[in-house]
Amino acid sequence: MTSPVRIYGDTRSGNCLKVKWTADHLAIPYEWHDVDVLKGETRTEDFLAINPAGQVPCLERPDGRILAQSNAIIFHLARDSKLVPQDDFDQAKMLEWMFWEQYSHEPFIAVRRFRRAFLNLADDEINPDLMAKGRRALGVMEMRLLSRDFIVGDGLTLADIALVAYTRVADEGGFDLDEFLGVRAWIARVENELEIDPDEGRVNPLA
Amino acid sequence: MTSPVRIYGDTRSGNCLKVKWTADHLAIPYEWHDVDVLKGETRTEDFLAINPAGQVPCLERPDGRILAQSNAIIFHLARDSKLVPQDDFDQAKMLEWMFWEQYSHEPFIAVRRFRRAFLNLADDEINPDLMAKGRRALGVMEMRLLSRDFIVGDGLTLADIALVAYTRVADEGGFDLDEFLGVRAWIARVENELEIDPDEGRVNPLA
């Protein structure tokens, strides 16, 4: 019997939840190893030996090899599953949205949520760029999702998993999702496919 | 005869040059369509119809389908070439470094270079975080490159192309590459493999 992979992560981080959801959805066995980002556990000598970039999530394979970056990890786990389109162009399109998520979405939506919900900063203590650029990202998604059920192709792919992670909790960052009805409907659809409890990973459970 | 792909890009942008270098290296024919970012040409109605995210580079295929995000485009172009390792883990490792580039490298090194070399801002007009985080990124690369010639495996991959784009001009952002000798030697190695003229894409040609 092969040993399971080990996942190093913090369950309050959307980037880490992407990996958990992908493994759960594909029924890939894993050991979860908690790393508390707020307590500085990604900056200890022990952790930096695992990932010199000092970030979670990380995947450790049974052969000891380590993989970092949430979107690279889920690509590796889902490589031969329906979550990755086999068509070359669709696969690249999926990666397009995953790169876009890390560059044009996460740094604004996830970061504003972190400052507001975890650091308890007031709205006027948060750089207004984060709201403007986060709303712009939600607008780009809304345009994409008004005419389709999933980000790429006809079914759930890694692009949906990558993007839903912080979009579903954007309200905790002060974003009003009622402005983006196509996005809201898509969140419900993806949570349903992944069997995510709507309260999972939320600082403030829904009423 | 198939029509060539069309690349929309700005030759002063490292993200756009990644696409040009990959196509040139693989001898993929293309039409280059200039888009001037500084003149706001990525925000015109015509361009937003091509890429709603308002970013270059973009690839237009002969069938009219559009692909954005530099790292997704080069993945698509190089899919079946030696620039993409066929081994599953190595391929994911390559993507790990490409995601890391867009999240932990480009937003500091490319952005500081843009403010300094294109907007002509003085050092004290630039957010000091960009220098601190850019130096941290160069440190992570230095650790990786002290014991290996290329970022992943034994030869040139897309991870090298993605990372060299802004690392080679980091001096234009005020970063001192003499502190990172492993990185400097790797830049020369990658420029040599890709046959990049050291002055290409530089605001200030080398003496």
Residue A54 belongs to some domain of the structure: yes
Closest by CA position to A93, among listed A139, A150, A142, A134: A150
| CA distance readout (Å), A123 to A6, A91, A104, A134 | 38, 39, 21, 14
Q: Above 90 in pLDDT, residue B206?
A: no
Same domain, A121 and A63: no
**Rg of chain B in Å (alpha carbons):** 17
Strands (E), A28-77: 30-34, 58-60, 66-68
CATH number, domain with residue A98: 1.20.1050.10
Same domain, B97 and B22: no
Q: Which of A92, A100, A107 minimises the CB distance to B107? A: A107
Q: Above 70 in pLDDT, residue B99?
A: yes
* B118-127 confidence digits (pLDDT tens): 999 999 999 9
CA–CA distance, A90 with A125 (Å, rounded to integer) = 41
Which residues of A are less than 8 Å from B96 in CB distance? 67-69, 72-73
Computed over every residue of chain B, the mean pLDDT equals: 95
| pLDDT range class, residue A97, cuts 50, 70, 90 | very high
CATH number, domain with residue A12: 3.40.30.10
* A131-189 confidence digits (pLDDT tens): 999 999 999 999 999 999 999 999 999 999 999 999 999 999 999 999 999 999 999 99
pLDDT of A1 reads: 54
| pLDDT range class, residue B97, cuts 50, 70, 90 | very high
Residue A83 belongs to some domain of the structure: no
A107/B103 Cβ within 8 A:
yes
Residue A204 belongs to some domain of the structure: no
Same domain, A74 and A158: no
Same domain, A93 and A175: yes
Backbone angles phi, psi at A69, to 5 degrees: 75, 110
Which residues of A are less than 8 Å from B67 in CB distance? 89, 92-93, 96
Q: Above 90 in pLDDT, residue A13?
A: yes
Residue where a domain stops, chosen among B49, B78, B107 = B78
A140/B72 Cβ within 8 A:
no
Strands (E), B16-151: 30-34, 58-60, 66-68
Number of domains in chain B: 2
Same domain, A96 and A166: yes
Same domain, A51 and A107: no
First to last CA, chain B: 44
Residue where a domain stops, chosen among A78, A111, A138 = A78
pLDDT of A206 reads: 82
Closest chain A residue to B64, measured at CA: A89
Asked if ipTM goes beyond 0.90, one says yes
Residue where a domain stops, chosen among A48, A78, A108 = A78
Same domain, B118 and B179: yes
Same domain, A108 and A42: no
Same domain, A70 and A135: no
* A17-35 confidence digits (pLDDT tens): 999 999 999 999 999 999 9
| pLDDT range class, residue A113, cuts 50, 70, 90 | very high
Residue B125 belongs to some domain of the structure: yes
pLDDT of A132 reads: 98
Residue A103 belongs to some domain of the structure: yes
Residue A39 structural domain: 5-78
pLDDT of B1 reads: 54
Residues of A with CB under 8 A from a CB of B: 52-53, 55, 61, 65, 67-73, 75-76, 79, 88-89, 91-93, 95-96, 98-100, 102-104, 106-107, 140, 143-144
Residue A199 belongs to some domain of the structure: no
Same domain, B96 and B179: yes
Residue A156 belongs to some domain of the structure: yes
Residue A28 belongs to some domain of the structure: yes
Which residues of B are less than 8 Å from A67 in CB distance? 89, 92-93, 96
Same domain, B57 and B120: no
Same domain, B143 and B64: no
Residue owning tokens 């349903």: A192
